[in-house]
Homo-oligomer: A and B are copies of this chain.
Amino acid sequence: MRCSLGRALDVIGDWWSPLIIRDLFLGIGRFDELVEDLGISRNLLTRRLNLLAEAGVIERQAYQLRPRRWEYRLTAKGRDLVPALLALTEWGNRWAAPEEGPPMLFVHTGCGGPVTPTVVCSECGRPLQADEIRAVAGPGGAAGPGTRVLARRLTLPH
């Protein structure tokens, strides 16, 4: 698929991958811990971990030899995914938090304060809102699955 959202979803577009990445981010990195924390079935976790490793988002490291025991951790590419997942989490907090309040909060060690992850425009720094954003065709713009109708819309008018 040509669009960058589609390419991101190729990596984390299933139900479990974002949760696996969140758990690795939080320091839960061993196979049985992930099974217990998420309730994912073992064979599926095996496949997901392999796919995420192939995609370069996570890597496997031995934390002990004899017997060899493994731990999974985020790569730079995977760590860079965390802010985007936090933005999604924040949406969940705003629109679908349980009555008691969010089960988890985040602290920014840079400033010491509680974080409300916010997606802003890198140019002007203001929070992004859907109605203030217009899409235009980029350099790699072409029609393909995921942009068949879109390609016509982006190039024709204006």
Chain A residues engaging chain B, CB cutoff 8 angstroms: 2-11, 13-15, 18-19, 22-23, 25-28, 33, 36-39, 56, 74, 77, 79-111, 113-142, 145-150, 153-154
> Which chain B residues border A10 with CB–CB below 8 Å?
96
Q: Are A101 and B149 in touch, CB under 8 angstroms?
A: no
> Which chain B residues border A88 with CB–CB below 8 Å?
5, 8-9, 84, 88
> Which chain B residues border A109 with CB–CB below 8 Å?
132-134
Q: Are B84 and A87 in touch, CB under 8 angstroms?
A: yes
Where chain A touches its partner, the secondary structure class is mixed
> Which chain B residues border A80 with CB–CB below 8 Å?
91, 94-95, 130
User: Bound complex: CA of A96 vs CA of B13, how far in Å?
Assistant: 14
Q: Are B86 and A119 in touch, CB under 8 angstroms?
A: yes
CB distance from A55 to the nearest CB of B (A): 9
Q: Which residue of chain B has the shortest Cβ distance to A119 in the bound complex?
A: B83
